[in-house]
Amino acid sequence: MESNDVRMVGICGIGGIGKTTIAGYIYNQISWGFECSSFLEDAKKVYKKKGLPHLQKLLLNDIQKGENSKISNIHQGARVIQNSLYLRKALIVLDDVDDMDQLEFLVGNHAWYGKGSRIIITTRDKRCLTMLNVDYLYNVEGLDSNEALELFSRHAFQSNLPKEDFKILLNPVIYYCEGLPLALKVLGSLLCGKTKGEWTSELHKLEKEPEMKIHNVLKISFDGLDTTQQMILLDIACFFQGEDKDFASKIWDGYELYGEINIGVLLEKCLITISNNRLHMHGLIEKMCKKIVREQHPKDPSKWSRLWNQDDIYCAFVSEKIKRKMVHYKIFARLKKVFAKMKKLRLLKVYYSLGNEHKMSLPKDFEFPPNLNYLHWEGLVSLPSNFHGEKLVAINLKSSNIKELLKGEKCLAELKFIDLSNSQQLIKIPKFSRMPKLEKLNLVGCVSFSQLHSSIGTFSEMNYLTELNFSESGIRELPITIGSLIALETLNLSKCSKFEKFPDTFFVNMRRLKVLGLSHSGIKELPTSIECLEALELLVLRNCSNFEKFPEIQKNMVNLLQLNLDYSGIKELPCLIGHLPRLQSLGLRKCKNLRSVPSSILQLESLKACFLEGCSNLEIFPEIMEDMEHSKGLSLLESAITELPSSIERQICAARLFLSDCENLETLPNNIGMTCVSHLVVRNCPKLHKLPDSLRSMQLKELDVSGCNLMAGAIPDDLWCLFSLEELNVSGNNIDCIPGGIISLSRLRSLKMNRCLMLTEIPELPSSLRRIEAYGCPLLETLSSDAKHPLWSSLPNGLKSDIQDYFECPPYWKYYRETRVVIPGSRGIPEWISHKSMGDEITIDLPKNWYEDNNFLGFALFSHHVPVDDICKTLCDDDIPYFPIVAFDTTLHLLISDGDQFGHVKVIDYTLECTRDMKNNTLFADPGLMVVYFPQIVISSEYRSNRWNKFKAGFSSVFKQAYRRASCKVESCGIHLIYDHGQDHPQQSLQLFNVKRSHDDTEDHPHV
């Protein structure tokens, strides 16, 4: 608002999403700061009823403050508006626009306005905003589940909270509305004051028939579409929900509906969305579309243009009157007579339940409708002998029993997509000359299909085929003629265990191939012609145990971005691997035959990540001869490497260096000071007894030296000069203390000291810490009983820092993390804790006026975790992963109460660890004390009154894997109220911040 430039802001979204509400709120908040202002509500409706001149007069009445201007035409009106606004700081809101004329003759352009003016336009049509060239465009999202529940409760219960006995009925309503404010308000008002039985009845009715107020608002957008756009929208709702956009578009092109163009229109009008290139729409728009299909003949499905519901299909087929265009269903009978009457059928989709008993055979004389564009029939036993399919664009017969797709010399002239995946008896497909427009062929899981017809690639007009997917098929070899497929972009032979090699010149002419997938295949070698793949971006040879040598590359494969050789049998890489100038990721994980890598690997200028973990025979990493300015990560964990080259410092931009589980690693070079390394992980390297002295020069954010058996003094004093350090893990070492210098690490967020058997002392810690773990440190058992220990006496400072974090979080960032401490806990909840209870829950009374007391910082929530009898020693069945450390999750539920009902304050998840005896395969969970700090300022404003006078904490623990029962339980728990200066009953209020903040300050308002 402080800026003096003229700004046009667009607010876009589907009907009922809250565009007008947002614009109205902003207008009411800021209109006082402008020389003139106007809010033209529902401009589209006024425009249709009274015309554009009337809208111009309404605007002039507002900005001229009562002066009457005569307007003879819209052009004169625009000039008068421009003259009235010139050099004036104006706020104009134009609500619900659907036509560029409204914008051109009402708000004009930036030059119409004085400095600091703001123009806000709300619309369902994003194209209006892009044509106006607005400065900011906001797409309004639906409410999340908590916001939706609150809005619905306001209208259904006249309260921000739902009634307890109705909670079981709320989820279906919230799910139905999908965050649409209009629907939440309408349904809330509809259900207000009704019994639970009436609620249930209304919800059942809504599933069959949408509420008319919601339907009519959404239908406005549908009515604004032309005929082809309406057809496509109905197709998506009834047929293509979740379908690939490009696939659906080409189906529509098959009957001249111009899919690509019209999809763009539907996107601009906020009627559909596209995610991962798949078509989606809001559930209520889908219901609106389906009602439109039904409403002309509500009781006669045989006259509908589209069928999708099993019951409706049954009714339509039984009557044998169906004669329209589309069918989408699961099971039906009486096929032959019914289909003979469906002359206009375009799209047919038939599903079946898994199992051969549900697969369907068609009569030999069965005839499909002549205009069919898309045939999707899962589990079909066979096609009829007279099947033609001249107009088919796509055929999907996945999981069928078909042995041969099409017999004879029939031509599928329009066919672009074939999906016969998991058709396990398939052995033959038509000659490719019979399918000249084929773009994609999917034979995944066709285990009997072993050989492709040699006609592929020989047909001169076959210039469209972009994708061949033979994954998990029985393919043994490919004809060399595939090399003539100049448009081919993807070739997938993953899990083809019988496929061993390509012809030598196979890749010579494949100029467009981008993806070559060979993972888990029987491939033994690649031909040298692989270097001809100029467009190749991804080459995957993962788990190819027979693949031992990569070919020498003489040419630059200029576009290869990822080369994945993980778990392969590769023994060496060619020295000319440097001919991959754009390679960003090189995967060599678990290549146990790999003994060395060439120095040319370090000349790859674009390489961001090199993964060499698990290469158990890799003992030497090459010297780095030149600065590697682009590398972002090097992983050598679980390798046999004994040392890093001193030239490692040349990897000047390696953001991450992973050396965990390198059992032979003895030293790190003293000049390891790579200034750009942010994460150094040297976990579980038992022969590494000392860290280098050069840590001071590093800009580390994370340092993990856990499990390295480091002795006292092995951690250099330089560590406390790492002022950028955020995470430090020294667990599993033989250190006896944490030096006091740690207090200077003002950015440190996490400190882990678990299983340090010699650790006796923890000094005062920086208030920035949010995770403190000292689990399994037996010599720290007395820590919990000493209320004056720095760990506890610094609680107020820690909570103040928590509170500061909370206020500094951006308003749109709703995820807030509390400080947590884990220490040994065999003595249970400390005596000095103000409120204690046996069991896994505790409720306390809150002090009077707690919400106004600035001295009351918050709560320390204690939970004492112990093994459940001897369960830890019997949990180690074969189905539990064989790891030395096993985690158990605990969930903490915080609630606030007025004595009658509870409000949910927060759900907090945290993890405790158990130590595993690798020899005896048993688990041991030492008693642990978990402490969670929770600032009271985080409690929502709706609970900040004396009415809410009780605070409850409940704990539950489960094994990390969902199918296991808990091996730890919360034996006791406690709550300690924390006041500034350690006052249990503060005598005076301490203002923590210079600027008083209210709950409303954290709300997310649009930026204007």
- Least trusted range by pLDDT, from 462-471, 703-712, 852-861, 869-878: 869-878
How confident is the model at residue 329, as a pLDDT?
Answer: 43
The mean pLDDT value for 405-428 works out to 89
Per-residue tokens: 753: 């000291």
Provide the pLDDT confidence category of residue 673 given band limits of 50, 70 and 90: low
**Alpha-carbon distance values, 194 to 77, 173, 180, 197, 207 (Å):** 52, 14, 22, 8, 18
Give the tens place of pLDDT for each residue, 850-898: 999 988 988 999 999 887 654 444 444 444 444 444 556 778 888 898 8
User: Quick one: tokens of 827?
Assistant: 């003595």
Confidence at residue 921, expressed as pLDDT on a 0 to 100 scale: 43
- Sequence ranges of the domains in the chain: 7-139, 145-208, 214-295, 790-999
Query: What is the Cα–Cα distance from 600 to 677, expressed in whole angstroms?
Result: 22
Q: How far is CA 586 from CA 496, 514, 578, 606, 1007, in A?
A: 23, 17, 12, 11, 43
Confidence at 919, pLDDT banded by 50, 70, 90: very low
pLDDT confidence of residue 326: 52
- What is the helix (H) or strand (E) element at residue 232, kind and residue range? helix 227-235
Looking at domain 214-295, does it have CATH number 1.10.10.10? yes
Q: How is residue 803 annotated by DSSP?
A: H
Q: Where are the beta strands (DSSP E) in 464-542?
A: 467-469, 490-492, 515-517, 538-540
Which residues, including other chains, have CB under 8 Å from residue 435's CB and lie 6 or more apart?
Answer: 411, 412, 415, 418
Instruction: Say what the pLDDT of residue 991 is.
Output: 28
- What topology does CATH give the domain 7-139? Rossmann fold (3.40.50)
| Largest pairwise CA distance in the chain | 96
Query: How far is 386 from 368, CA to CA, in rounded Å?
Result: 9
Distance of alpha carbon 854 from alpha carbon 980, whole angstroms: 9
> Phi and psi of 562, rounded to 5°?
-135, 130
Q: At what angle do helices 43-50 and 52-63 cross, to 10 degrees?
A: 120
Instruction: Compute the C-alpha angle 550/553/557, nearest 5°.
Output: 110
DSSP H or E run through 174: helix 170-177
User: 604 falls in which pLDDT band (50, 70, 90)?
Assistant: confident
What is the rounded average pLDDT of the residues 604-622?
84
Tell me the C-alpha distance between 683 and 694, whole Å. 19
Residues linked to residue 348 through DSSP beta bridges, in sequence order: 327, 375
Six-digit token string for 481: 């003629």
- Asked if residue 790 has pLDDT above 90, the reply is no
Least confident stretch, 100-109, 187-196, 807-816 = 807-816
> What's the token pair of residue 245?
């956009």
**Number of other CB atoms surrounding residue 632 within 10 Å:** 18
**∠ at Cα 463 (457, 469), nearest 5°?**
65
Contact of 926 with 824, CB cutoff 8 Å: yes
The angle subtended at Cα 102 by Cα 11 and Cα 64, nearest 5°, is 95
SS3 content of the chain, % helix, strand, coil (to 5): 30, 20, 50
What is the average per-residue pLDDT within 820-828? Answer: 84
- Report the helix count and the strand count for the chain, using DSSP H and E: 19, 40
pLDDT at 834: 87
Average pLDDT, stretch 56-80? 86
Please list, in sequence order, all residues whose beta carbon lies within 8 angstroms of the beta carbon of residue 195, skipping any fewer than 6 positions away: none
pLDDT of residue 806: 67
- pLDDT above 90 covers what percent of the chain? 41
Q: What is the pLDDT of residue 679?
A: 86
Average pLDDT taken over every residue of the chain: 82
Taking residues 373-387, what's their average pLDDT? 84
pLDDT at residue 176, rounded to an integer = 93
Q: How far apart are CA 806 and CA 261, in angstroms?
A: 46
Helix orientation angle between 245-253 and 227-235, rounded to the nearest 10 degrees:
130
* pLDDT value of position 106: 94
Strand order in the sheet with 885-897: 841-845, 950-959, 885-897, 902-917, 922-924
Residues 190-242 pLDDT 10s: 999 999 899 989 988 888 888 999 999 999 999 999 999 999 999 999 999 99
**pTM given for the model:** 0.77
The rounded distance, in Å, linking the Cα atoms of 844 and 341 is 73
Contact 431, 462 (CB under 8 A): no
Q: How far is CA 957 from CA 425, 723, 965, in A?
A: 50, 36, 9
**Angle of CA points 367, 257, 280, to nearest 5°:** 95
The winner for highest mean pLDDT among 68-77, 835-844, 899-908, 931-940 is: 835-844
Q: Find the angle CA(620)-CA(625)-CA(631) to the nearest 5 degrees.
A: 80
pLDDT attached to residue 1001? 37
Could you give the dihedral angle defined by the CA atoms of residues 998, 999, 1002 and 1005, in that order, rounded to the nearest 10 degrees? -100
Taking only the tens place, the pLDDT of each residue in 946-1004 is 999 999 999 876 654 433 444 678 889 999 998 886 444 433 332 222 222 333 333 33
**DSSP states of 731-791 as a string?**
TTSB--B--GGGGG-TT--EEE-TT-TT--B-----TT--EEE-TT-GGGGGGGG-TTSHH
Residue 989 is predicted with a pLDDT of: 30
DSSP letter at 216 equals H
Question: Please, which contacts does 988-994 make with residues 24 or more away whose CB atoms are closer than 8 Å?
Answer: 988/855, 989/853, 989/854, 989/855, 990/854, 990/855, 991/854, 992/800, 992/803, 992/854, 993/807
Judge whether residue 765 has pLDDT over 80: yes
Q: How many CB atoms lie within 10 A of CB 618?
A: 23
pLDDT for the residue numbered 581: 85
- 331: helix, strand or coil: coil
pLDDT bin (cut points 50, 70, 90) of residue 573 is confident
CA–CA separation, 121 vs 106, rounded Å?
11
pLDDT for res 556: 73
CB 926 within 8 A of CB 895: no
Mean pLDDT is highest, among 363-367, 429-433, 536-540, 705-709, for 536-540
Return the top range by mean pLDDT from 81-85, 402-406, 802-806, 913-917. Answer: 81-85
| Separation between Cα atoms, residue 660 and residue 704, nearest integer Å | 9
Asked if residue 783 has pLDDT above 90, the reply is no
Query: How is residue 237 annotated by DSSP?
Result: I
Three-point CA angle 654, 658, 661, nearest 5°? 165
What's the rounded Cα separation, in Å, for the pair 956 and 389?
60
* Residue 275, pLDDT above cutoff 70: yes
Q: Are 596 and 623 in contact (CB under 8 A)?
A: no
Tell me the residue type at 360: M
pLDDT of amino acid 729 = 94
Residue 9's SS3 state is strand
**Overall average pLDDT of the 146-163 stretch:** 88
Check whether 96 has a pLDDT greater than 90: yes
Question: Which amino acid does the sequence have at 634?
Answer: L
Length of the chain: 1008
Q: What are the backbone angles phi and psi of residue 704, rounded to the nearest 5°?
A: -125, 110
Question: What average pLDDT score do residues 819-823 get?
Answer: 85
pLDDT band at 812 (very low <50, low <70, confident <90, very high): very low
- Interatomic CA distance for residues 63 and 184, integer angstroms: 36
User: Residues 6 or more apart from 919 whose CB is under 8 A from it?
Assistant: none
Residue of 291, 293, 298 lying closest to 315 (CA atoms): 298
* Block residue for tokens 């990560």: 633
Q: pLDDT exceeding 70 applies to what percent of the chain?
A: 83
Q: Residue 192 corresponds to which tokens in the numbers above?
A: 């207000």
